[in-house]
Structures are given as C-alpha cells and as structure tokens.
Amino acid sequence: MVRAGEPAFTTSGGVGFISNSSDENLQAKVVATWSLGDLAANFPMALDEDRKRLYVGCRSPARLLVLDTDTGKPVSVLEISKDVDDVFVDATVDDLPAERRLLWRGRVYRVAIPRDATLPAFLTVEGVAEPPEGELVLVLRRPPKLRDLLRRSALFEAAVRAREVYVSPDPTQIPQS
C-alpha cells in the first residue's frame, strides 16, 4: 500500500513536465507540476529515495536531468546518448530492507525482499506492466570495502513479485498547477 502523503512521480508522456503526486487517504492528487524548461521527450525516470533525487532521461535535447525531489529544482543536467530508453539507480545498502520501492514506466511498485536474502542480492522482478525485453533486476549490495578485495561474498539470487501501488491517472494530460 502507498502510505498517506508518500510522493509518486509521473512523467508527462514526453511533453516536458513531471508531476509530483501525493496519496492522501488513497486518493491520488497532483501536488506539484515541475516544468523541464527546454527539455522534452522525457520518458524514463529513476528514483533515488535515500538521496532525494529523481533522474529524468530526455531525448530532446539528449540530457539526463537530476531533480531534487523536495523542491523539484534541477540539481544537475548532463549530456547523454540521444535515444535513452531506461534510467537506473545503483544504490547501496548497509542492511537488507524489508521492501524496496521502484519506479518503472510511470508506475510505482513495491518489492518485498525475501527474508533469507543476503548481500549482494540480485532479484529478478516479475509482475510489472510493460516489462523490458530482458529481465528487470533489482540489485542490492553493500558499499565496497577493503574486505571485498580479499574475500568474495556468496551471491543471493531470487525471483520476486512486484506490487503496483500507483499509476498516473492520465499521463497525457497536463495538470494545472
């Protein structure tokens, strides 16, 4: 379930804005609309909840836009390849979380982490709408340390099922702010 007030970010179907929605009493409502300025054709996004950053892949012009999720203000704009399809965040964890939230093609999912999982963990995510041609993999790993050079860790692999918790009601409509 989405917790009340938890943000969900949706793309505009490529017309140059991002919506920040909040789920109050399980009724999704747009709380902010962030213009991307001269950037458009924005389809892929990745969310780094821990660092409060939203990474937006734009094709026109080809840029990776990094937004502060509290303010919607740009933190950085980087040149990227001209036909970006996917954006991913490589996040490290000190301990295994009970679940992880991920954003895939305008939909927010929750993935329960298996109780017997160990780090590093490669979790093949199933149950997402419009899955990629290959596998969608959630990678959880520790920050690298000196011990990692001296000793290999056993790799935990499992298939997990995603639960969809939010979908943009109509990503083609530009909400009025």
Q: pLDDT tens, position by position, for the chain (177 residues)? A: 345 556 677 776 655 566 666 655 555 677 778 888 899 888 788 888 778 888 888 888 988 898 998 888 999 898 887 778 777 776 788 888 999 888 777 677 889 999 999 888 888 889 988 877 667 778 888 887 776 667 777 888 888 998 888 665 544 333 333
Q: What span, in angstroms and rounded, lies between the C-alpha atoms of 38 and 16?
A: 8
Q: Do residues 110 and 160 both lie within one domain?
A: yes
Residue 177 domain flag: no
Q: Which domain holds residue 54?
A: 7-87
Q: Which residues contact 82 (CB under 8 A, 6 or more apart)?
A: 59, 62
Q: What span, in angstroms and rounded, lies between the C-alpha atoms of 122 and 154?
A: 11
Q: Do residues 15 and 80 both lie within one domain?
A: yes
- Last residue in a domain, options 35, 63, 87: 87
**pLDDT 10s digits, 125-148:** 899 888 776 677 788 888 877 766
What pTM value is reported for the model?
Answer: 0.60
- Last residue in a domain, options 87, 116, 137: 87
Q: What span, in angstroms and rounded, lies between the C-alpha atoms of 175 and 162?
A: 28
